[in-house]
Amino acid sequence: MNQIRGSQSISFGEAPYLISSACVAGSKEAEGPLGKLFDMVNQDDLFGAKTWEEAESTMQKEACVLALGKAHMDAKHVRYLYGGDLLRQGIATSMGVEELQIPMFGLYGACSTSGEALALSAMSVAAGYGEYMLAVTSSHFGSAEKEFRFPLGYASQRPLSASWTVTGSGAFLVGRQKSHVRITGVTVGKIVDYGLKDSQNMGACMAPAAADTILTNLKDFGRSPTSYDRIITGDLGYIGQSILLDFMSKNGHQMRDRHLDCGMKIFDQEKQDTHAGGSGCGCAAVTLSAYILPKIQKGEWKRVLFVPTGALMSTVSYNEGASVPGIAHGIVLEHC
């Protein structure tokens, strides 16, 4: 039976499988440490489209088609699709997956959306609401800059605390069909707000939420950091990682030896001008698909806590001087 664990977690009695995944990335990401691991790379970040938004939709569609193709699955067999992006009304998702004609839920958890989508997909399969679910997220540097900061032509100067929105999309097929990776539990995050207002320092805004979810996961499941081969956050970057490790240390947990951050992994800080690291809905998603899942599939890592992190802001809230709350969702991935 599925079990409610502690205050925010669920342990799946019959854990759903993460059957297949696929990722699509842009040119800058292809130049980074994970460049050779992506399923599809396009040196034209417009992906043949006329706008950044259309390009992001194209990435989502391609990622979904590739993930389904790897599992030899037709879209008509997928019960529900959970998807999201960073844009207003989730237009990258709605326009990207339209052709698939899968009943869908549009999500917004900022950069934590891949965790939200995976959690809901796993919960739906475990509850018997369908045999297969598809989770997909995306982000695009061009569309995100235009939405939240300045159009690229403005050539604004970026502070060193700023992260670089990843141009990429990751899609994941979750279901009962056996594979080498299972989603054995989830810890749903809650909104954590320390009053920070600097949208150019999202690592600091999100780190408290990441710490809260990780600490809750450890408490709910009766575990310690050593229970996991890796604890992997989504978008904290170099600044956010430092804050997270301080939070964990003050709460009696040392995890420097097993913590990774997707925003630090996807770019080469010395060779690529990305400042604090990577961010965006695509950051955690493409890193999970290209780098993390293969290690779990091979058994190099037996159990991983995957914690995508999000800064819950909008252009309206920022311009009105509101703080930037954070949220993080924990997904327990295990080799089988």
CATH label of the domain that carries residue 210 = 3.40.47.40
Asked if 168 and 302 sit in the same domain, the reply is no
53-89: per-residue pLDDT in tens? Answer: 999 999 999 999 999 999 999 999 999 999 999 888 8
Q: Does the residue 2 lie in any domain?
A: no
Q: Does the residue 185 lie in any domain?
A: yes
| Of 173, 194, 217, the domain-final residue | 173
Give the model's pLDDT for residue 43. 87
Asked if 53 and 191 sit in the same domain, the reply is no
Asked if 119 and 251 sit in the same domain, the reply is no
Asked if 187 and 165 sit in the same domain, the reply is no
Asked if 267 and 317 sit in the same domain, the reply is yes
Identify the residue whose tokens are 């430092």.
Answer: 242
Q: Which domain holds residue 281?
A: 179-333
Asked if 166 and 199 sit in the same domain, the reply is no
Asked if 64 and 164 sit in the same domain, the reply is yes
Distance in angstroms (rounded) separating the CA atoms of residues 248 and 133:
34
Asked if 169 and 289 sit in the same domain, the reply is no
Distance in angstroms (rounded) separating the CA atoms of residues 127 and 268:
41
Asked if 34 and 144 sit in the same domain, the reply is yes
10-21: per-residue pLDDT in tens? Answer: 999 999 999 999
Q: Does the residue 10 lie in any domain?
A: no
Distance in angstroms (rounded) separating the CA atoms of residues 299 and 109:
30
Q: Does the residue 133 lie in any domain?
A: yes
Give the model's pLDDT for residue 232. 98
Give the model's pLDDT for residue 233. 97
Asked if 42 and 133 sit in the same domain, the reply is yes
Residues of the chain with pLDDT under 70: 1-2, 149-161
Q: Does the residue 54 lie in any domain?
A: yes
Give the model's pLDDT for residue 218. 98
Distance in angstroms (rounded) separating the CA atoms of residues 179 and 321:
47
Distance in angstroms (rounded) separating the CA atoms of residues 66 and 100:
12
| Of 173, 207, 224, the domain-final residue | 173
Quick one: CA torsion of 234, 239, 245, 248, rounded to 10 degrees? -80
Give the model's pLDDT for residue 321. 84
Closest among 304, 284, 331, 292 to 11, alpha carbons compared? 331
75, two tokens: 């879209």
Give the model's pLDDT for residue 154. 55
Asked if 201 and 271 sit in the same domain, the reply is yes
Distance in angstroms (rounded) separating the CA atoms of residues 256 and 23:
28
Asked if 239 and 129 sit in the same domain, the reply is no
pTM over 0.85: yes
| Of 106, 139, 173, the domain-final residue | 173
Distance in angstroms (rounded) separating the CA atoms of residues 283 and 326:
16
Distance in angstroms (rounded) separating the CA atoms of residues 178 and 64:
19
Contacts of 241 (CB under 8 A, 6+ apart): 203, 207, 233, 259, 261, 264
End-to-end CA distance of the chain: give it in Å, rounded. Answer: 19
Number of domains in the chain: 2
